[in-house]
A = this chain, B = another copy of it.
Amino acid sequence: MDIVEQIDKINRQLTVKGYKLTPQREITLKVLLENEKDHLSAEDVFMLVKQKFPDIGLATVYRTLELLSELHIVQKMNFGDGVARFDLRMEGHDHMHHHLVCKVCGALEEIEEDWLTDLEQKIAREYGFQVTDHRLDFRGVYQTCKNNNKPCKRVGKAVS
């Protein structure tokens, strides 16, 4: 599924809900699609969108991200560095991704495996709670960082 198809699909989702795919929204979506792995902040998105559409306002980006959040097209996340970060949720998003956050190099690595299916069933059984979403972050240190005692890699946007 290429970017055009993706945007087309999202366009239909918007239309169903009575929203329009304005040029600003389309470009914001493109930026999100092109940086799918990067956990962009609103400011990041704004700067990238501005390159393609210089007249856009920051408020529009916030409003678009908010809208896309509500429609569960993007997911708003928070890594504790004071800014919200946004992730496109692609079609197979039932298996949420997890994160490794390295305290030394600040890298934020994504892990695509889903480890929690069993756990979610257990929670449904034992707590009467139906999980729709989860979030799993590990904080720690890469061995390489630890051995070298210096930053080893930076994947995506670093988080303080």
A143's nearest neighbour on chain B, judged by CB, is B128
Q: Which residue from B80, B119, B130, B141 sits with its C-beta under 8 Å from A143?
A: B130
Q: How large is the interface on A (under 10, 10 to 19, 20 to 34, 35 or more residues)?
A: 20 to 34
Complex Cα gap A18–B146 (Å): 26
Contact at B127–A103, with CB atoms within 8 Å? Answer: no
Complex Cα gap A102–B142 (Å): 34
Q: Which residue from B79, B123, B137 sits with its C-beta under 8 Å from A138?
A: B123
Count this chain's copies in the assembly: 2
What are 24 A-B pairs at a CB distance below 8 A?
Answer: A77-B80, A78-B78, A78-B79, A80-B84, A100-B129, A102-B129, A103-B132, A109-B127, A115-B119, A120-B138, A128-B142, A128-B144, A129-B138, A129-B141, A130-B141, A130-B143, A130-B146, A131-B138, A132-B141, A134-B137, A134-B139, A135-B138, A135-B139, A136-B136
* Chain A interface residues toward B at CB < 8 A: 76-80, 84, 100, 102-103, 109, 111, 115, 119-120, 123, 127-144, 146
